[in-house]
Amino acid sequence: MKKKKKNNKKKIIIILIAVVIVFAGIFVAKSVLFKEKAAPAAKVVDKLDDYGYTLEDDATKYYKGLFNDLKKTLSKDNVDEEEYAKLVSQLFLADYFNLENKISKNDVGGVQYVYTPYQESFIKKSMDEVYRYVESDIYGDRKQELPVVSSVDVNDIKTITHEYGDQTDEKAYSVDLSISYEEDMGYQANATLVLVHNKNKLEIVKMS
């Protein structure tokens, strides 16, 4: 009887080991397959070191054109600050509302143009609102239709005094813009942005 019990225990142990090996094999196989299928991360293809702006390879053709204009504007000895404010505003909206190239709701666009101390809260708010229903495309198989920004036009720009937190910028910019899409899906078509000075940069501190 004892010998039989020992044999049964051995059989159970062997079966358990076999089950573990099978499940481990399935897990590894799935991991490898998903890894091969996963969409590659966007790569930085251009950057402005003095300002910290970067351009990624998955940006739209329109956005890349704006970024090139920004690069030219900021490379001049005397930067046209009003033109700088216009381009930052256009770039921000062209990236923020262009959801088609976003990997998930966490992939919030335009963050690099937002006032640095506000970036974290801006991302959280965006994930709860505009980006809330963006489905994951980590494996490149998303079927969801999302907006593509075709152009952003500046309607008006003016200097204002703007108070934010415990600071005041007497030479802030207020920029009114119109947003056009390849297909109208009901997303925001107009915006007013307020840009303030932060060291050598103009950063967006308010959007309405």
Q: Dump the DSSP string for 17-32.
A: HHHHHHHHHHHHHHHH
Same domain? 25 vs 104: no
- Shared-domain flag, residues 25 and 49: no
The tokens 């937002």 sit on which residue? 114
Domain around 27? 1-37
In a shared domain, residues 123 and 24:
no
Nearest residue to 101 via CA among 134, 75, 73, 78:
134
Number of folded domains in the chain?
2
User: Are 64 and 103 contained in the same domain?
Assistant: yes
* CA pseudo-torsion sign 129, 133, 139, 142: negative
Specify the pTM: 0.82
Same domain, 15 and 87: no
Same domain as 5, residue 70: no
Task: Record the tokens describing residue 160, joined without a space.
Answer: 């204002």
Q: Do residues 27 and 119 share a domain?
A: no
Q: Quote the pLDDT of residue 42.
A: 82
Pairwise CA distance, residues 108 & 122, whole Å: 9
Same domain flag for 65 and 134: yes
The predicted pLDDT at position 8 comes to 61
| Spatial CA neighbour of 95 closest among 44, 56, 143 | 56
In angstroms, rounded to a whole number, what is the distance separating the alpha carbons of residues 108 and 123? Answer: 6
Same-domain check for residues 114 and 130: yes
- 202 and 181 Cβ atoms separated by less than 8 Å: no
**Range 127-158 burial, b when 16+ CB lie within 10 A, else e:** beebbeebeebeeeebeeebbbbeebebeebe
Q: Are residues 5 and 70 in the same domain?
A: no
Nearest to 66 by CA among 101, 100, 95, 90: 90
| pLDDT value of position 41 | 75
Residues 21 and 86 in one domain: no
Residues of the chain with pLDDT under 50: 2, 27-36
Phi-psi region of 141 (alpha: psi -120 to 50; beta: other; left: phi over 0): alpha
SS (H, E, C) 39-82: CCCCCEEEEECCCCEEEECCCCHHHHHHHHHHHHHHCCCCCCHH
